[in-house]
Amino acid sequence: MKRKPKIPKTGFFWHVHHDELFEWCHNYDLRVEHILKKPSHEIKRRLRLFKPVQNVPRELKKLIKEFQNSGSNYAWWELEQWFKTYYPEMEALHKKECPRCPWNGKTLFPERTD
């Protein structure tokens, strides 16, 4: 029997929220608990697509470590600049790591009209 890979408790994850491609997840288990309280027709998709980013770019790992160690506004500014600069790279990585994902650049639920 094939074992499921262990899921990290914190780190960068795809689709922590339905309207974000990726972001830092502070507590995987708490987020799953929250997802289970969502409308029933959303739960399966949210859980399937909420998964760790497998190939976090080295520069992003370094910036996160610096930010966590310093907590300074400058470190936060650097992190925001990284997101703006490398977002296209993350979108390409997403296509590889999250095949058959309905993400349309804005939401996991493009069929919704709200």
Quick: pLDDT tens for 2-26: 666 678 888 889 999 999 999 889 8
Residue 81 φ/ψ, nearest 5 degrees: -65, -40
Residue whose token pair is 């990284």:
82
For the chain, what is the radius of gyration of the CA atoms?
15
Tell which residue, 111, 110, 108, 114, has the closest CA to residue 19.
108
Strand order of the β-sheet with 51-52 is 22-25, 11-14, 51-52
pTM to 2 decimals? 0.83
For 27-77, the pLDDT digits (tens) are 999 999 999 999 999 999 999 999 999 998 888 888 777 777 776 677 677
Residue with the larger pLDDT of the pair 74 and 103: 103
Return d(Cα 34, Cα 93) in angstroms, integer.
26
pLDDT of residue 62: 80
